[in-house]
Amino acid sequence: MNYEMFLYAFVALYGLCIGSFLNVLIYRIPNNLNFAKGRSMCPNCKHILGVFDLCPVFSYLFLGGKCRYCKTKISMRYALIEILTAVLFVLVFFVNSFNLLSIIYCLIVCVLIVIGFIDYDTMDIYDTSIYILLFFVLLSMFVRGDILIKDHLIGAIMISVPMFSLAKVIPGSFGFGDVELMCVLGLFLGWQNTLLLFFISLLLGSIFGFIITKKMKSGEDKHFAFGPYICIAAFVTMLYGDLIISTYLNLFM
């Protein structure tokens, strides 16, 4: 195995472990549990989990997707979140190479995974998570140094302000959490990529929104969380936005 492969394997393994921690945050934050204190336990039988139950993905495969103690099926989602984190970490380093900025991008990925899944579960985006995201975004802008501040300030307001007005005029169209998320990501990505971000999230939101609302019974509340689609679109845009935009523009030249 050459040196670079070793680094990517290390990043992937690190991603699995961080993903495991993100699972804890996604489960504990909406349930008002302290995520720093207390050992992890099975949500069904409350058995405290040992080291061998907590190995990301491997425990899941080894235990056949069941709790070792009560044999209750464990949601596959835990393993999927770990794999998602690992894949995104590897892609971040693959696209931006091994440097400080990539580490900050990975932290941004982590916050977005937590925001996306908590929003999916609870239809709520916590202000604290937006502040943490903003902190890492500002840090990334500071480390990059070469950015055009004006492009990023325009990015921050160009979609979020119309979304805010829409949310005011038509209550329930967008949540204010979505507006804040779009504002911070706009600041992060600059206005060109923010347009792409909005386009992709609307596309995903309408496809999945259509599927989700179709499955619901007629009397049910037709609302669904938009945050997860903004987060998926943000992963695509932060990794491949520039490539997608330049490919698209080249079609017309």
Residues at the contact surface with Zn ion, assessed by CB under 5 A: 42, 44-45, 67, 69-70
Q: How far is CA 236 from CA 141, 179, 181, 183, in A?
A: 19, 19, 16, 17
Q: Closer CB to Zn ion, residue 13 or residue 43?
A: 43
Which of residues 69 and 240 has its CB atom nearest to Zn ion in the complex? 69
Nearer to Zn ion, 47 or 222 (CB): 47
Distances (CA, A) of 202 to 113, 170, 192, 245: 18, 17, 16, 17
Nearer to Zn ion, 40 or 96 (CB): 40
CB-nearer residue toward Zn ion: 11 or 67: 67
CA-CA-CA-CA dihedral for 125, 180, 213, 171, to nearest 10:
110
Q: How far is CA 249 from CA 147, 176, 186, 242, 243, in A?
A: 21, 33, 20, 11, 10
**Strand partners of residue 48:** 41
Long-range contacts of 208-217 (CB under 8 A, 24+ apart): none
Closer residue to Zn ion in complex, CB, 48/166: 48
Q: What is the Cα–Cα distance from 165 to 174, expressed in whole angstroms?
A: 10
Cα dist from 133 to 28, 62, 182, 188, whole Å: 19, 35, 11, 10
Helix, coil or strand: residue 41: strand
